[in-house]
Structure formats: C-alpha cells, structure tokens
Amino acid sequence: MSTQISLLTDVERLLEAEKLSDPRPPETVTWNPWHGCHKVSSGCSNCYMFARDLSYGKDPRDVHKTNSFNLPVRKLRSGPHKGLYKIPAGSHIYTCFTSDFFHPAADTHPDSEDRGWREEAWEMMRERSDCTFFMITKRPERIAATLPATWDGQQKMWHNVTIAVTCEDQRATNRRLPVYLSLPLHHFTVVVEPMLGHVNLRPYFDRFQYTDTAGQVRPLINSVSVGGESGPNARICDYGWVLDLQMQCVEAGVAFSYHQTGAKLRKGGKIYNIPRELQHSQAKKAGLDFDGEKMVGWD
Ligand code: SF4
C-alpha cells in the first residue's frame, strides 16, 4: 500500500513538473469522446443534440465513439511545442456535452475483449491531472458502479474532475439528488437547466452536510447553476422560481449562478422572448450571482 502511495506521489510530481514546463496559457476546451444519447426525462424533451442531429438527417440515438475520442492525450508533432499535449496544461475541459458520460453504451461489457469507452476516458483524465474536467449527467444512479477503482472521494486523486447533476424540476430533484449526494464525489454541483418548475433544495441543504476544516457545518452541495431553455420550442422559465432558488442558496451559503435566461422568461405576469445572443448577458444583468459568501459584482 505504501509503495502504491509513493508511486502515485511520484506521478503527481511528474504532472506538476509538466504543468510548470508548459509555457502556453490554459484554454477552455470541449471534449466529446462519444456522441448520441437516449432521453430520460422531461429535461431532455428539447435536447439540442437531438435537434441538431435530426436537422442533418442523423439518428441522435446512435451512440458512437467520436474522432476526438483521445483528444486530451494527443500530442503536438511539430512546431515550437512539439511533444507537448495539444491541450495546454491547466486547461478546463468540458466533457461529453453531446451525450451523457454515464450512458450505458460506454460501459465495459464483461463478454467483450475491449475495454469500455468510459474506462479509457477515465484513464485519459487521470493522465491529464494537470487539467480540470467538467461533466453533467442525468444518470446519477449509474455513477457509483462506473467510477474508476482508484476513486474513493478522500484522496487528492481525481480532484480535477467535477461531475454535476441536472435537476430540471422538483420531480427530477427528488429522484436524482438523494442518489447523487450519497456518492463519494469531491465536488457537488447542481445544474437546474432547463429550469421547468419551482425547485426546493432546502431539504437537501439540511440533510446532506459536512463539517469543514474550521468546524462549520455546511451543505454538501457547493454550487447551484440555473438557466432557462433555449431553442424554438423553449418552455417558459419563471423569474420567481429563479429568485426563490437564489434566496435558498444565499441563506444556506451555497454558490449560485444565473447562467442564462432561456428564450421565454416570465416576469411580472408577462412573457419575454429573449434572443439567443442576449440570454446570457440578460441573466448576468440581473445581478443574482453569489459566491457562497457574498454577491458577485456588488463591490
Ligand atoms: S441526457 Fe443530455 S444528451 Fe442525453 S438526451 Fe438528455 S439532454 Fe440530451
């Protein structure tokens, strides 16, 4: 056991050295190792990936490996940075945004000689511990059985990976959060997008907690992000739902971000149609973002 720990520490030292030896600035990158999915709840009704694939005459339910499957570990073959990874050290990698990382198609099948796609993807993320990875799932019930064997939620290892869960309404919240908040994760991020109804997170803030290094009891959920639905068939997001959830987060000391308004925002009894290019900036103008201690941009 002690040999294993000292080996891991050596690997971490090497990765740190690699980070320091990469002169390029970090980037924000999207990595879609596989593509295609199956709908699991009302939050999926207007899935942008389905709409786009159908518009090209493709079947969005055909889940397949993409050409960029090994993107995080590809290296430059020429130029001044030859030999370094194509993705600079310290980059933030949005992972699996045209599928669900925990979709069964990526599982390891015991009757197959091939390793599952997910197992290979975990290995790439481990190799790139100098980058951060962020993924969102609607399948938290599949996470426990498909985490890598070295993931225990305590060690420094895997801190670079955030697995967020989507809860579009109270029904999805009540189904997904008890499972999600019982997992050995390092970060607990709840994405309420597309927000389709009022969401009460107070029972989850109260029931799932930890004690921080200063001895303070805090909710396990460390951040909540909210957004409305986009696209031609977007459903209404009520500003009152957003405000109420923000208040819940401020009271509980949980970071809150109003990511985007969506295309149809109900406010003061009126429905506003908001063009795609303004949905993000209008949400930010509302000034609701909270970093867990203070409002953002109110200085
Ligand atoms: S889980 Fe995500 S990618 Fe899959 S159908 Fe639903 S919205 Fe689309």
Our answer on whether the CB atom of 49 is closer than 6 Å to any ligand 1 atom is: yes
> How is residue 17 written in tokens?
């050295």
Q: How far is the CA of 247 from the centre of ligand 1 (A)?
A: 28
* Model confidence at 11: pLDDT above 60: no
Residue of the CA atom closest to atom 7 of ligand 1: 44
The pTM of this model reads 0.91
- Per-residue confidence band for 114, with pLDDT thresholds at 50, 70 and 90: confident
Q: Give 220's contacts (C-beta < 8 A, 6+ positions apart).
A: 181, 188, 208, 209, 210
Report the nearest-CA residue for atom 8 of ligand 1. Answer: 47
Contact predicate 103/38, CB 8 Å: yes
Best substitution site from 41, 44, 59, 168 to test ligand 1's pocket, by max atoms within 8 Å of Cβ? Answer: 44
pLDDT single digits (tens) 222-243: 999 999 999 999 999 999 999 9
pLDDT of residue 47 exceeding 80, the answer is yes
Work out which ligand 1 atom sits closest to the CA atom of 136: 2
Task: For ligand 1, pick from 34, 39, 98 the residue to mutate: most ligand atoms within 8 Å of CB.
Answer: 39
Q: What tens digit of pLDDT does each residue of 150-177 get?
A: 997 766 789 999 999 999 999 999 999 9
Is the CB of 243 inside a 6 Å radius of any atom of ligand 1?
A: no
8 Å CB contact between 224 and 249: yes
pLDDT at 289 over 80: yes
Query: What's the CA gap between 70 and 32, in Å, rounded?
Result: 10
Return d(Cα 101, Cα 166) in angstroms, integer: 13
Answer yes or no: is pLDDT of 64 > 50.
yes
Cβ 226 vs Cβ 258: under 8 Å: yes
What is the rounded CA–CA span in Å between residue 250 and residue 288?
A: 10
